[in-house]
């Protein structure tokens, strides 16, 4: 029997927003303009950008913050029922979820993987040796 498990946890929290300006400038710092806190209006799942500071959002984007969790696991049971011939019973599952929670809490995120419904796959493979 072989067991494989691959947990993935990734969190992204964006704090310093910038506007692209001269994207081909020689100096990296000249390519962007940093936005001041009074130019940003974060409201739940959207971010309003007030470039000219007139109180109205010039641009509205979805918040890029994320918390992604995934678990891929496989169990393989192998039985060699005669020399050169074998049978494999495979159970595989995949679970994933994502939220806008931008805080990494490893214990919570890892245990949260098991709260999600997963896609289950069961396979059977049989090999038979047609030798002399």
pLDDT in tens, 75-105: 999 999 988 899 999 999 999 988 777 777 7
DSSP H or E segment with residue 72: strand 66-82
Give residue 57's pLDDT: 87
Distances (CA, A) of 69 to 27, 36, 94, 114: 36, 32, 11, 10
Mean pLDDT of the chain: 88
- 132 pLDDT exceeds 70? no
pLDDT given for residue 42 in this prediction = 83
Q: How far apart are CA 16 and CA 42, in angstroms?
A: 12
Kindly state the DSSP code that residue 116 receives in the 8-state scheme: S
User: Is it the case that residue 44 has pLDDT exceeding 80?
Assistant: no
pLDDT digits (tens, 9 = 90+) for 20-34: 888 899 998 889 988
By three-state DSSP, how is residue 127 classified?
A: strand
Among all chains, which residue has been given the structure tokens 């995949």? 94
The closest of 44, 69, 46, 68 to 57, measured between CA atoms, is: 46
Percent of the chain with pLDDT over 90: 34
Tokens representing 39? 């130019």
Is 2 in a helix, a strand, or coil? strand
């Amino acid at each position: 029997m072989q067991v494989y498990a691959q947990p993935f946890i990734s969190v992204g929290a964006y704090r310093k927003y910038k506007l692209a300006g001269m994207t081909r400038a020689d100096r990296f710092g000249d390519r962007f303009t940093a936005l001041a806190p009074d130019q940003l209006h974060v409201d739940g799942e959207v971010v309003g950008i007030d470039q000219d500071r007139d109180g109205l959002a010039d641009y509205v984007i979805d918040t890029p913050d994320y918390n992604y969790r995934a678990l891929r696991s496989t169990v393989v049971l192998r039985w060699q029922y005669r020399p050169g011939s074998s049978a494999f019973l495979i159970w595989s599952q995949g679970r994933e979820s994502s939220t806008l929670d931008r805080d990494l809490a490893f214990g919570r995120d890892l245990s949260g993987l098991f709260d999600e419904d997963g896609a289950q796959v069961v396979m059977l493979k049989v090999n038979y040796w047609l030798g002399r």
